Amino acid sequence: MIKKSISLFLSMSFLLSTGCKAEEIDTVSKASATAAAAQISFSDISYHWAEKSIKAAVSTGYVDGYDDQTFRPDQKISRAEFVKMITTSLKLPTTQVEGEWYIPYINTAVNGGLHRWSDFTSGDWNTSLTRMEMSRIVVRATQKELQDPKYQMPDSGFLFNATKTGIMQGLSNGQLGKDEPTTRAQAITMIERILKINKGEKLPVDKNAMAYAEVEMRGTNAETVWGMRTKQFPIKDKLGDGLDLQINKMIIVDKTKSDSAFNELYYDPNPKAGTDIYVIAYHITINNLAKKGDYTIYPTFMMSMTSLPRALTRTDDIQIFNGNDTGLHSGWIAFCVPKKDIEEILSRNDVPRIDLNIPQSFINMNEEKGEN
């Protein structure tokens, strides 16, 4: 048996959060704004989850209600309406031009680095704004370096930055809902958070939303859970001649938290593993490039992290396959690891590793002999 370890991490150093020091807030101005907000009354916002943010936004002056004394907080907001709101809230200069009412605000957003003409690939300015589309604008509004048109970032990067800084919270249990339309209440809440961040305040973070966003960006939620950054998935290695391994994703679930992101993917672990554990799951693909003989290959025996019981995924566990079955074999393999073991590793600035247990017969295999 040949054993080798692979690390999926970039370094052994913890990542430090980059929150800015909060500036002092003018208590007189804050008190005045609070008093003004208290005088605002709409017939449809009492006890609404965003009531406080709505009143603050209206008192600031970047959004209004309707003539019938309603605010319609759950009404979908269009792209044009949101761009007007955010450019007005940030007090960006606007030049009036002929044409549709929203053109000056769009020009301001583009000139101010909040929007790229390429951001919207379908629909028009009256189309409902999705949460994904909103994430691009709100992240640029808080990070000046991203306002440079030369700076490009994938959508997954915008989602991760929006959740990591606390601008964007998740929907049910942290789900991103990136293609869901944005409501007026959600839009205002985002803008109020932008204004707080730009004043130097630090916002609470929805860790589940951050975890889902990180998996979309990197293929893992390691930074969210452990504060450590991995290499970009997928990661490739070899299990032997003509047998390639690709690790597509690494998902970490804190089983001490019943509402942990991705918790629904796994059955309750074997009782022998205890309850104070992480489930660490890998989605892998093994590519059998050539026939190797009529015997069974057990992928679950070829990767290990611990001697404790493995965790079962609800679907798509990787299956055993015959050595003569060429092609791709994909699925999940998961391990139960005591939290104290991981904490001990991290405390010494080390990183968790995967052991590849490669049978000697897989090294320099001879297809004709079909060795096993």
How far is Cα 260 from Cα 61, in angstroms, rounded to an integer? 39
Domain match, 47 and 188 both: yes
User: In the listed set 163, 180, 212, which residue is the last one of a domain according to the structure?
Assistant: 212
Q: What are the CA-CA distances from residue 281 to residues 106, 318, 329, 333 (Å)? A: 44, 11, 16, 6
Q: For position 100, what pLDDT does the model report?
A: 94
Q: Are residues 186 and 260 in the same domain?
A: no
Decide: 80 and 125 in contact? Cβ < 8 Å.
yes
| Residues 238 and 167 placed together within one structural domain of the fold | no
| 90 and 163 housed in the same domain | yes
- The pTM (predicted TM-score) of the whole model is 0.83
Q: Are residues 272 and 181 in the same domain?
A: no
CB-CB contact of 333 with 303 (8 Å): yes
Q: Is residue 84 domain-resident?
A: yes
Over its length of 372 residues, how does the chain's per-residue pLDDT go in tens digits? 556 666 777 644 433 333 333 333 333 344 444 444 546 789 999 999 999 999 999 999 999 999 999 999 999 999 999 999 999 999 999 998 889 999 999 999 999 999 999 999 888 999 999 999 999 999 999 999 999 999 999 999 999 999 999 999 999 889 999 999 999 999 999 999 999 999 999 999 999 999 999 999 999 999 999 998 888 999 998 887 788 999 999 999 998 898 999 988 776 666 666 778 898 888 999 999 999 888 888 887 777 766 656 676 766 788 888 989 999 999 988 888 888 888 888 888 888 877 776 665 554 444 444 444
DSSP SS3 for 171: coil
* 253 and 119 co-located in one domain: no
Q: Are 102 and 125 within 8 A, CB to CB? A: yes
Helix locations, 73-232, DSSP H: 79-89, 103-111, 131-142, 155-164, 184-198, 207-218, 222-226
Residues 177 and 323 in one domain: no
Residues 255 and 161 in one domain: no
Structure tokens at 25: 């807030």
253 and 193 housed in the same domain: no
The parent domain of residue 357 ranges over 233-362
Provide the pLDDT for residue 30: 45
- DSSP E strands in the chain: the ranges are 2-7, 235-240, 243-254, 277-288, 296-297, 303-304, 310-311, 321-322, 327-338, 353-358
329 part of a folded domain = yes
Q: Are residues 259 and 167 in the same domain?
A: no
Number of domains in the chain: 2
Asked whether residue 184 falls in the same domain as residue 241, the answer is no
Distance CA 18, CA 228 (A): 14
